[in-house]
Structure 1
């Protein structure tokens, strides 16, 4: 990799300003594992001086026990690159210049420059968060610290999204040239303005409510703990967990929408053993179902394996089944049916929930749209829009039938 390529890239003023001012550390690494450039936050995380990380091998930032495996992982990523989180469900550590280890979170993305892969690692130092998580088990005071940290992180992500939208608006304005281009630019600008307005409206409500719940429950825990009322303490701990999960779901929706809008989601199909895959989704969804709700699975297909993208297929199933649970009462049955029709793999989700009013059905897959009978059920109005886009990436279709007050059936058809 010619190291002059990324250097010329960052001479773009807008890119350089964003790169240098990001609150996360960023490393850009060539195919051989050599660091081409690092931003100031990355240098701070690993304890290096300005530009000192340039030409350093990435494995030097890992503890010795991880280096051998990481070389194979890096080669595998270069062979099949896709945006991903590293170490989901387990702790990751980096190695600072002074030999000390630091807990980190890493997300990977990539770009191609002159036909070669340039990997981008987004790194966060989570030392403080790890300390807060440990302390959370011991005192109510640390619960408040954790809630404040979460609020700060949400605020930071919201500001970053605002900044991205503003930059896109400016880019659209600058690219107005011919009459046809101007018409298209103005249309896109209008759409982005609507997206920003709706995002601000939803974010201000959907973020504020769970954060208020976290703070109020944290305060009450101290009172109940002093009185030895363990049952009430457990109840408010559960409320905090539920609120944090809700915030995570909202952020995931916005991040998925952003990736779909930017066209950075790649399709990686592979052979999937149907029953094992569905059993895994079922196990993951069980804690989400309301009390007494059941997910009955009917295999009316001769297919034992299908060829598709398991990550995208999992997101489609998870979203549709979660909706069926969310908009149905406790104790209601949800049915997931699999079939193969002609040369298509077909699955459908049947629920006995509140249904969708007829006048709302034509808008069901619109961004930010929520049916008039959704009431106080939490949601951003993005889920079905994201599902439809995922299905289109698989060259499939989605349809539904619903009756207000009696339930809905969503059917997904994907070519085999």
Structure 2
């Protein structure tokens, strides 16, 4: 025996090499599966980020459209002799720089037949002596830019007749004839000294409401509310490069509009992981986006897991080799290990028999050789009914014709693969019923023959949950769109009309009328606040901001000052925390709502609010305590429900969503909040915050 072990070619027997080969094969399978999963996650992330990018641009353009529509509604109520000052006031109320970053201004374009030009110029020169329409031409109609705010940096556009350039005129005519929002093809704005690509956005306004036909729209057309955009500035305001792992170029038809795919961009990747080309309709223009992953995408999604699995597998195989050599050199130990392996094999067989997924082994011709009990449960067949039968009998008839070709393709390229989560795959039971399935395929060698191992999982519940999630996400997105675009603008219009009525009737309205107007404005304002809170609630988890360094004391004082607290209300901060790094926006929302609630729900003119903060090994703890009204213990859980208030809404201004927003933010952060109060002498809200 010793002599045989001393011979190099007898150190390992064939079955040892089989075990080592199988172990190495499993290592390679695990490495490949892990690498495939990471690539699938990368691709899914790319799809999500490209969709988010397009949604951001589309949402921002819709946001600007709302501003222009507000201008179209406003200009109809401004007397002609007050247009200059009132339009400037309207622009200042919009607060373009802060509320609509990326927009160059907002202006008015009038349509003039040649017969009205001289009178129009004379009227404009009453307030602006140097007003003139330019450039000169011999056409029979004029479209001059009459007003634009802010005038600074846009003064060159005043008096510009857009008929001089075909792209401007074509978009303006299309907007007039269709009564829809339109944008121009790429142009160069006269006020842009850098001559970079830009465009104009038009909203038509008319002197009548019956605009059913194109002839009626032409007849009653007055002009356009418009906004000029420089594309580079628009994209800088809409998209922040540091927040994105996607870079792109933008074309309008064949014309380049915007381009980040250059070597001047530090985040540009000359060999991107993924690329995608999408064309979308943008107010009458085809915008084509060429999107690809950036260098930051590779860094953010890099994973060493496949290499770790491969390295660990190689190490394990090396250790197995060492174990086998050691076992052969010690017969007694080899016998003991053999017995242990026999027990392990029985245990392994028991695990396979108890596996929660179906397991089917076939030969290369697709004939079933082995199944486990779970396969019998999934398909309704007994083992003897399936053995030596074609696996095609477990596939719906509409797929059976193409299955032999797929099997042949797998035999030629037997890479491990998973099917079912990203494509429709179904199993067919003995009763003829179908169920959605996730199928895993792997090829292995048994003796001199190759076998195929198929694992089968019924994913009916997964599909149902996925469909429900898609439906819920769509409903949430639709709600957010309606709340932000279709509801807020009318509410602001109602508030503006109520304000005008209040001003017009101030000298003769009865006290009841004044009270009713005040109540109308108060409830409209509260409804707008409710919409804002609903939108915040719906968007939680989508974008919670960037990590920033914040001073807690300064943050608390800043939030308190913004509440404009009445005399008699004070706030103090006591805590060991000073500067911390965190995502500021959600923390600010939580503290602002808690401080605001304390002020709104006080029972006297005097109130003291005390903020404390402590640091723990893995989290921070904040407390907001006041000496106000207090909350009865029976309401401690209910106050975090949507729209829940403990006092009538006409007594306390609010939407009833502040604590619900706080709860959802903290749930998303996997943090907790609790309230301590005896219902008589104040309340204390304590919540944790992750490091």
- Whether 2:682 is the aligned partner of 1:407: answer yes
SS in 2 for 1:324: helix
* Residue pair 1:397, 1:412 contacting (<8 A) in 2 also: yes
CA distance in 1, matches of 2:626, 2:676: 11
Q: Residues 66, 216 of structure 1: CA spacing in aligned structure 2 closer, same or farther, 3 A cutoff?
A: closer
Distance change >3 Å, CA 58–CA 253, structure 1 → 2: farther
Gaps in structure 2 of 5+ consecutive residues: 1-45, 67-101, 103-170, 190-194, 201-225, 246-272, 284-434, 437-458, 481-488
Q: Distance in 2 between matches of 1:392 and 1:218?
A: 44
Structure 1's 59 and 395: CA in aligned 2 closer, same or farther, altered over 3 A?
farther
> What does 1:179-198 align with in structure 2 at a 5 Å threshold?
179-181=460-462, 184=465
Structure 1: 5+ residue stretches without partners: 27-32, 34-39, 83-112, 124-175, 200-206
Cα gap change, 1:184 to 1:246, in 2 (>3 Å): same
The CA distance in 1 between the partners of 2:495 and 2:239, in whole Å, is: 43
Distance 1:115-1:253 versus aligned 2 partners, 3 A rule: farther
- Per the TM alignment, residue 410 of structure 1 is displaced from its structure 2 partner at its CA by 0.7
Instruction: For 1:233 and 1:295, locate their aligned partners in 2 and report how far apart those are by CA, in whole Å.
Output: 36
Which whole-Å CA distance do the structure 2 matches of 1:217 and 1:25 have between them? 24
Q: Give distance in 1, aligned partners of 2:196 and 2:461.
A: 47
Aligned pairs (5 A) from 1:260-409:
260=540, 263-286=541-564, 289=565, 291-301=566-576, 303-343=577-617, 344-366=619-641, 368-374=642-648, 376=650, 377-409=652-684
Q: Retained in 2: the 8 A contact 1:267–1:393?
A: no
- Given that residues 537 and 661 in structure 2 are in contact (C-alpha distance below 8 angstroms), is that contact kept between their aligned partners in structure 1? yes
The answer as to whether partners of 1:399 and 1:410 remain within 8 angstroms in 2 is: yes
- Aligned equivalents of 2:232, 2:532: Cα separation in 1: 29
SS at match of 2:534: helix
Give how far 1:341 is off.
3.6
- Which has the larger displacement, 327-336 or 68-77? 68-77
Aligned residues: 289
Give, in angstroms, the shift of residue 76 of structure 1.
7.2
Conservation of the 8 A alpha-carbon contact between 1:334 and 1:352: yes
Pairwise CA distance, 1:53: 5.4
Q: Distance in 1 between the 2:592 and 2:236 partners?
A: 28
Question: Matched residue of 2:603: which SS?
Answer: coil
Indicate conservation of the 8 Å contact 2:630/2:677, yes or no.
Answer: yes
Give the superposition deviation at 1:307: 0.8
Pairing of 1:89-100 with structure 2 (within 5 A): none
Give a deviation string over 1:148-178, Cα, whole Å, max 9, x none. Answer: xxxxxxxxxxxxxxxxxxxxxxxxxxxx976
Alpha-carbon distance between aligned partners in 1 of 2:620 and 2:557, rounded to the nearest angstrom: 18
Q: Give distance in 2, aligned partners of 1:117 and 1:322.
A: 47
Separation in structure 2 between the aligned mates of residue 402 and residue 294 of structure 1, nearest angstrom? 20
Change (3 A) 1:116 1:191: closer
**1:223 aligned onto 2:223:** no
User: Is 1:60 aligned to residue 342 of structure 2?
Assistant: no
**Which of structures 1 and 2 has the larger relative contact order (alpha carbons within 8 angstroms, sep 6+)?**
1
Q: Distance in 1 between matches of 2:588 and 2:614?
A: 18
Q: Spell out, residue by residue over 1:368-391, the C-alpha distance to the aligned partner (whole angstroms, 9 max, x if none).
A: 241454564344332212112223
1:70, 1:337 → 2: CA distance?
A: 41
Change in Cα spacing, 1:307 to 1:232, as seen in structure 2 (3 Å) is farther
Residue 305 of structure 1: CA displacement?
Answer: 0.5
Q: 1:77 and 1:315, CA in 2 relative to 1: closer, same or farther beyond 3 A?
A: same
Choose from 506, 523, 526 the match for 1:246: 526
In 1, distance between residues paired with 2:683 and 2:464?
40
TM-score (norm 1): 0.50
- Provide the secondary structure at the position in 2 that maps to 1:414: strand
Residues 574 and 611 in structure 2, CA contact (< 8 A), matched pair in contact too: yes
Task: Report the 3-state secondary structure (helix = DSSP H, G, I; strand = E; otherwise coil) of the residue aligned with 2:241.
Answer: helix
Query: Which residue is 1:131 aligned to?
Result: none
Do 1:217 and 1:239's aligned partners in 2 also have CA atoms closer than 8 Å?
no
Q: Does the C-alpha gap of structure 1 residues 373 and 180 become closer, same or farther in structure 2, counting only changes over 3 Å? A: same
Computed over aligned residues only, the root mean square deviation of the Cα atoms, in angstroms, reads: 5.8
Matches for 1:84-233 after TM superposition, within 5 Å:
114=274, 179-181=460-462, 184=465, 218-225=500-507
Structure 2 distance, partners of 1:395, 1:333, is 32
